[in-house]
Structures are given as structure tokens and as C-alpha cells.
Chain A
């Protein structure tokens, strides 16, 4: 069983469209994250949810809206897609924000290409 799964794996869309990426984890973790990996492979946190509550929003444009319907799911909706949004988006989860010794588990990534 995949621990952290994202869908879709690839997403090609036109500028101006709205799209969603879904993430699910079956590890029983209470914290989930979205990271963005740019074309230079640099990884940066975008959002984090703990028990369905938003705890990190790292100056991401408000065209990006995360939603966490329950602890096991964290979706990312993107409005009015721009060329610069092209990247690989990774979902991750870990157990507890105060447990600094716990590692995060990552999904396989969603490669978003805006044309």
C-alpha cells in the first residue's frame, strides 16, 4: 500500500485554467504538507495542515488554496494557472508538529505543466 499518494501524477493544462491535485495518506499522521519543487530542483514548503487546521502559509499567491476535509487528505486547488506555476508539487505527511524527531513521508509528486 502506498503511504502517501497523489493524483494525478502528471497534469498539463492551459494558462487561466483551474486545477486540483489530491493527496491522501494512510499512515495515521495528523500533519500534512504541500511542497513545491521548481525547475532547479529547489524544494520549498507551501502549506501545512495539522488536524485539518492551516498552520503554515508561506507567502503563496492566493490563487493557491489548500483544503483538508479530514486528517488523511490534503488537496491543493489552483485558480487561474500561470506559466510560472509549472513545477512538481509534493504532498507529505508526518506525525505531529511538535515531534521534531519525526521524518516526513513524501508522495510521488505531481508534475504540473502550464502551457
Chain B
């Protein structure tokens, strides 16, 4: 069965420092991986996805993610964090059946302090 794990409930980083939000996955077949961000009292916004090709994926708001097949990871990164990046981040994998559903990780709260 497809699954996603985000091992950290919360990540704290100082503004201007690089940030990493971790995600590992378990899939049968090719992984189709996504990152979403949820700001307080808002819906989920798509950040980026990995389907195939280059292992470094660039997305919205300066975020990028690195796909690592051997470590089954898809960590979200940003070279320089902003206070406005503080939010809840979800990693997700496409379900194995042809239903289009997303299976989400537990979510990681990113706190960027000035």
C-alpha cells in the first residue's frame, strides 16, 4: 500500500537560514509525489510535484524538493526561509489505483522566527 511519512511534527528555523522539511514514502511502482502548504484557516496550496526526470524539482515561492529513490525520500527545501513561510506542510503520494486520490503524510508545522 502507498504511504507517506513526515517524521517531524514541527520544524523551527531562523529567518534567512535554509530549511528542510522531511518526507519519506513507500510505494509499489513509480512514485508520484507532491508537496502542499496550508496557511491558517486556508485550503491547501500546491507547491511542487515529482513525476519523473530531474531529481531536483523547483516549485512555487522559492521552494524545491529533492527526490532520492535509494532513500525513498522527497524532502522539501528552501535556501533562505521567510517568516511568511510559517505554515503547515504536507507531503503526498498518488494512490496506486487509478482513482487520482492523494495519500497525505501527517503534516509538518514550519515555524520561521525573525
Contact = CB atoms under 8 A, between A and B. Distances in A.
Interface-central residue, B44, B100, B101, by most chain A CB under 10 Å: B100
Given A33-B100, A40-B106, 12 more contacts: A41-B38, A41-B106, A42-B106, A100-B100, A101-B32, A101-B49, A103-B46, A103-B49, A104-B100, A106-B45, A108-B43, A109-B43
Contacts of A12: none
A90 B100 contact: no
Contacts of A99: 100
A31 B104 contact: no
A99 B51 CA distance: 11
A30 B107 CA distance: 28
B94 interface: yes
A101 B51 contact: yes
Interface residues of A, number: 31
A49 to B, nearest CB: 10
8 interchain residue pairs of minimum CB distance: A97-B100, A101-B51, A106-B44, A43-B104, A106-B43, A108-B43, A45-B101, A103-B46
Interface residues of B, number: 26
A109 B51 CA distance: 27
B98 interface: yes
Contacts of B100: 31, 33, 48, 50, 94, 96-97, 99-100, 102, 104
B101 A33 contact: yes
Contacts of B101: 33, 45, 48, 56
